[in-house]
Amino acid sequence: MHGEPFGYEKPASLREFESLFAERGEDAKILAGGTDLFVLIKERLLAPRLLIDISDLPELRGISYDPGEGLTIMAGTKVAEIERSALVREHAPALAFAAANLGSNQVRWMATMAGNVCHASPAAETPPVLLAHGCELVIGTPGGERTLPISEFFLAYRKTALQAGEYLKAFRLPPLPARSAVAYQLRGLRRAMEIDMLNMGIYLELAADGVTVSDIRLAMGSVGPVTYRARGTEQRLKGMRLGEEFMAAAGAGVAEEATPIDDMRASAAYRNRVIGVLARRGLEQCLEQIGKGRGEA
């Protein structure tokens, strides 16, 4: 037998889920797609008493766009729905690309982005691009809800800022300002069905002159215990003019801020070398998109 026996509940509404979770939260784990959770249970790394299945709650599904608020993706939305969504492809194409790179088609029809984020693996596919977008998380709390920038969500390896009785309700990606774009870069051993050895989300925004960097976010995965932004480098790059000096400073800066380890997917030395290449490629991709007018408000 794999792991300890556990109970299973499938609430029919969000209200029912919230009262059950408030009552049993200590013993319970939320079950979304189960593609991470069942692996942990099978490997006896987790032994919840109760699984609360939120996979069919209509209130937690859907993707919408509002010109003022941006893109809202409800937590129960499947990764395959994000990959295929016309709204995501239009307003956050790098996220659609990241979603398309997560596991296999079968996995993507089971898995949710909330599960990907709440599992808090440093190698996960979607956190770098969400960090690059400056995503806000809507968190359901016992008394209501609160919002938190995703940059404050990952506290340590597989540890998040969710408190007892809290769950992830939705993702909000603010509208992209004029002359800005987001790119996603990944490096893996093969093209499908594998966890990335490195990944990166890149946000670039240019000033009205079209050559000065007014804002930049560089979010790195698989180079530390959590996905995180190279904040020192971002600060140094702000105000620089585009060109070789800027690109070289970006590449060198992320390599300096990366703290990778050797593991079964890659060596620390390899990761340190390649993260700078990903930064440069991502910035070039952003420039190409800005040049095409993508991301124009």
| Chain residues in the site for ligand FAD (CB under 6 A) | 29-37, 75, 79, 102-103, 107, 110-112, 114-116, 118-119, 124-125, 167-168, 193, 195
Measured from the CB atom, the residue of 32 and 290 that comes closer to ligand FAD is 32
Nearest-approach distance from CB 211 to ligand FAD, in angstroms: 35
Residue 125 near residue 231, CB atoms below 8 Å: no
Nearest-approach distance from CB 241 to ligand FAD, in angstroms: 36
Q: What is the DSSP letter of 78?
A: B
Per DSSP, the residues of 224-292 read SSS-EE-HHHHHHHTTPBSSHHHHHHHHHHHHHH------SS--HHHHHHHHHHHHHHHHHHHHHHHHH
Measured from the CB atom, the residue of 60 and 237 that comes closer to ligand FAD is 60
CA end-to-end span of the chain, whole Å? 55
User: Which residue has its beta carbon closest to ligand FAD?
Assistant: 115
Nearest-approach distance from CB 151 to ligand FAD, in angstroms: 18
Helices 244-257 and 268-292, axial angle in degrees (round to 10): 140
Nearest-approach distance from CB 154 to ligand FAD, in angstroms: 13
Three-state SS for 138-194 is EEEECCEEEEEEHHHCEEECCEECCCCCCEEEEEEECCCCCCEEEEEEEECCCCCCC
Nearest-approach distance from CB 76 to ligand FAD, in angstroms: 7
Measured from the CB atom, the residue of 73 and 279 that comes closer to ligand FAD is 73
Measured from the CB atom, the residue of 3 and 34 that comes closer to ligand FAD is 34
